[in-house]
Amino acid sequence: MIPRTVLDRTATALTFAFGAIAIAVAVHALGRAPAPPTLDPTGGFADDGWTRACRTAVLLVTGLSAIGLVRAPGLRRIAALLALMGAGAGVVLAAGALELPTLWGGIALATTLAPLAIVLADTRRSAARHALTSLLLGALACGVLALSFLALSALSGSTHVLEIGFQVTRFEDSAPFALTALRAAAVAVAMLAAWAPFHLALPELWGEGSAPLAGWHAVVWPWAGWSVLVRLSGGLAPALEEWGFDGVSAVSLFLVLGALLPGAAALAEDRLGRLFALLGIGVLSELLLSVHARGLDAGAVASGLWGYALAWIVGAAALAGVRARTGDDRLERLLGLSTRLPRTALAVAVAAFLWVGLPGTFSLAVRWSLWQAGAASPLVLVAVAGGALLRVLAVARLVAMLYFRVPSGTLEPPLVPHWYERGRWGVVFVAALAIEVALALGAQPWAGRLLTIEPVLFGG
């Protein structure tokens, strides 16, 4: 029988080593010279700009999550890591898939294994609830996607997205059915990418869960959702052109609701994690500005998701620090935090500012590009600006609590975690923030690779 401590240490070493390697591979991939897109011999997979961007992001986030897995002991930690790796592989599979069954299979794998990772890696009672929520949401999205894909393949007589784009118009009256299937797929994507009104369950999952696991879900699931949309819109481009489909109008409701609802909800939030989740969901919804009349700008989505991921990493690190020092993340316990824990309060404030736009950071730069290139109507743009206003007010409320309020006299003294635990989230916070600034200043070749992805395959 192997002693438990040995198992724990071995698991720690393994997960840490995997995390470091995954991060190194991701950074190396970002620094590589651009290459033209390629198709595999069967034509079922594309290795293009979107696939590479998604693969790099999943590697980076899975590596960071592996380093952050501290709650599970021994073998459970390794099992959780394997589940996360499997789920990440599913997302990467979906990102490059041009066949509908593979595309669906990748999403199904990601939405099944990721909840398993939650229960394996987090031993708290609330983790089971979060896993169930995640599983149900994923199952619902997969079910809707399955119906949508079945309808599209039946109408076109093919399962390859590039063929569907040409063949789905062979019947004159196929347009309403195909567009309904496409809208259903968009609803499934909305569940994965947290577009309102499907954002309601996610603040609990992303905001209350263990920071690395919640962060993995918050970053990787939107990549999965957008992968479906990128592949479908790319493949169906000829059909959308023929039908005169207006993508901007189709997503405007999601955009307006996504900009306003999370911001309004954030104003009334009483937990820091959920507040960050709602702020993040609001920012994520702005990516819908990259949808154009006949498709979407995959490069804008990818760079937007990169900026979102960096902001989320900074926020998750700050959140982990707050939880470790104060015990939980209820806002009432954070009153006057700046006088008790000035550095922790500053980290929280900086993370919150990232969600509303901190000048000189990559996440703001990509959001600004997105706003400027958006083809939405003025009314929708007013809603986007209104959502930004609501999120600024929510952050101002948080800053006032941290800096302008007198701390409650009955608070317990702050916890003092081990130096290596503090170092873990401290290093991640500082590194992610430094990367944000360096990329905003145009550090090459990484900034170039994140701002402009390599070409993406599309039909027509």
Contact footprint for another protein (CB under 8 A): 346, 357, 359-360, 365, 368, 371-372, 374, 378, 381-382, 384-386, 388-389, 392-393, 396, 399-400, 403-406, 440-442
Between CA 16 and CA 66 the distance in angstroms is: 6
Q: What separation in angstroms does the CA of 45 have from each of 37, 103, 288, 355?
A: 11, 10, 25, 35
Sign of the four-CA dihedral 75, 78, 84, 90: negative
For another protein, the closer of residues 115 and 426 by Cβ is 426
Between CA 208 and CA 316 the distance in angstroms is: 11
Residue 450 CB, nearest approach to another protein (Å): 14
For another protein, the closer of residues 177 and 371 by Cβ is 371
For another protein, the closer of residues 128 and 400 by Cβ is 400
Residue 441 CB, nearest approach to another protein (Å): 5
Residue 19 in contact with residue 63, Cβ under 8 Å?
yes
For another protein, the closer of residues 197 and 442 by Cβ is 442
Residue 117 in contact with residue 87, Cβ under 8 Å?
yes
Cα pseudo-dihedral 135, 139, 142, 144, rounded to 10: -140
Residue 101 CB, nearest approach to another protein (Å): 41
Between CA 460 and CA 450 the distance in angstroms is: 26
Rg (CA), the chain: 22
For another protein, the closer of residues 171 and 368 by Cβ is 368
Residue 29 CB, nearest approach to another protein (Å): 24
Structure-token match 């430094």, residue found? 434
Amino acid found at 1: M
Cα pseudo-dihedral 93, 20, 127, 350, rounded to 10: -100
For another protein, the closer of residues 115 and 387 by Cβ is 387
Cβ neighbors of 388 (< 8 A, separation 6 or more) are 259, 263, 356, 357
Q: How many Cβ atoms are within 10 Å of 176's Cβ, its own excluded?
A: 9
Between CA 395 and CA 355 the distance in angstroms is: 9
Residue 53 CB, nearest approach to another protein (Å): 21
The secondary structure of 386-421 as a DSSP string is: HHHHHHHHHHHHHHHHHHTSPPPTTPPPPP---HHH
For another protein, the closer of residues 17 and 396 by Cβ is 396
Residue 386 CB, nearest approach to another protein (Å): 7
- Return the HEC string of 160-192: EHHHHHHHCCCCCCHHHHHHHHHHHHHHHHHHH
For another protein, the closer of residues 371 and 446 by Cβ is 371
For another protein, the closer of residues 174 and 338 by Cβ is 338
For another protein, the closer of residues 163 and 436 by Cβ is 436
Residue 460 CB, nearest approach to another protein (Å): 29
Which of these, 438, 299, 304, lies nearest to 366 by C-alpha position? 304
For another protein, the closer of residues 3 and 378 by Cβ is 378
- Cis peptide before 197, with omega less than 30 degrees from 0? yes
CA 238 to chain centre: 29
> Would you state the structure tokens that stand for residue 257, as one six-digit string?
């609701």
For another protein, the closer of residues 111 and 290 by Cβ is 290
Residue 256 CB, nearest approach to another protein (Å): 14
Residue 215 CB, nearest approach to another protein (Å): 25
Q: How many Cβ atoms are within 10 Å of 198's Cβ, its own excluded?
A: 22
Residue 351 CB, nearest approach to another protein (Å): 16
Residue 382 CB, nearest approach to another protein (Å): 5
Residue 191 in contact with residue 140, Cβ under 8 Å?
yes
Residue 372 CB, nearest approach to another protein (Å): 7
Residue 274 in contact with residue 203, Cβ under 8 Å?
yes
Between CA 158 and CA 399 the distance in angstroms is: 55
